[in-house]
Amino acid sequence: MQYRYTVNRNYEDYASGRVFYARPGVPAFPVRLASEIFQRGLAHWRQAGGAGPCRLYDPTCGGATWLVVLGFLHGDAIASIMASDLDTGSLTLAERNLALLTPDGLNQRIEEIKTMAASFGKESHRGALESAMRLREVLSANRAQHEISTQVFQANALDPEALRQGLGDAPIDLVLADVPYGRHSAWAGQKSGEDRPPAWQLLEALAGQIGPRTILAVAASKDQEMSHPKYRRLERFQVGKRRMVFLRLHDKPGSRGYGESPA
């Protein structure tokens, strides 16, 4: 796959577990790939008529690591970030990470790293502190343009009613989802007796919450078919074991979820 928007540079400051909070044993989403996915999704949204900073939502956010990465890298293009997950432990981690997009949250993290550096004297802590100070400069520059509002809530991404309760009337421009597909994550919250695959259930649940311009950018394994009759596929590419699919609802006046043919 050829990257269209990002270059192969040093993303060390954005590494999971360095400044951003991480869960031991769970691999982070690649920073460069996250940035590429966001920028491709943003381009599709602008082509559909979107303008200004966009509003992001991740229905399977985990620790929200890639969301906070995007908040720093592309803060000028993001107005708000909403994140949800069924797992309470993931939500706690997501709240801590998204708090890093505020001066208070990042300053608290800097003090934590300073304490670790003074107590243990490890080179990794000194490097993390240098990264945190650079991120503080990035945050200051981003906030000079506008602040990014954040919201974290618990919801089963496969349950339309749970999404409705959590999202309310909040508009969504870009849905980013890294769905479960590896040895460290698995789908939860499937309805008893439901014979549709989880990927289909996710797209069905989201269909009632998004508008005609909303772009879905979903990372999944290549054996998960991210398709649904209410959506049309805009593009697809693969990197390693991950397959990225970009979707948008089929167009029909007066309907937010009309389907003509499978994506």
Q: What is the per-residue pLDDT for 4?
A: 94
Q: What is the pLDDT of residues 194-242, one digit of tens each?
A: 788 899 999 999 999 999 999 999 999 888 889 999 999 999 999 988 8
pLDDT tens sequence across 106-156: 999 999 999 999 999 899 999 999 999 999 999 999 999 999 999 999 999
- Whether residue 260 is predicted with pLDDT greater than 50 in this model: the reply is no
Least Cα distance to 95 among 77, 83, 103 occurs for 83
Give me the pLDDT at residue 126, please.
Answer: 96
Q: Please check the confidence at residue 191 and state whether its pLDDT lies above 80.
A: no
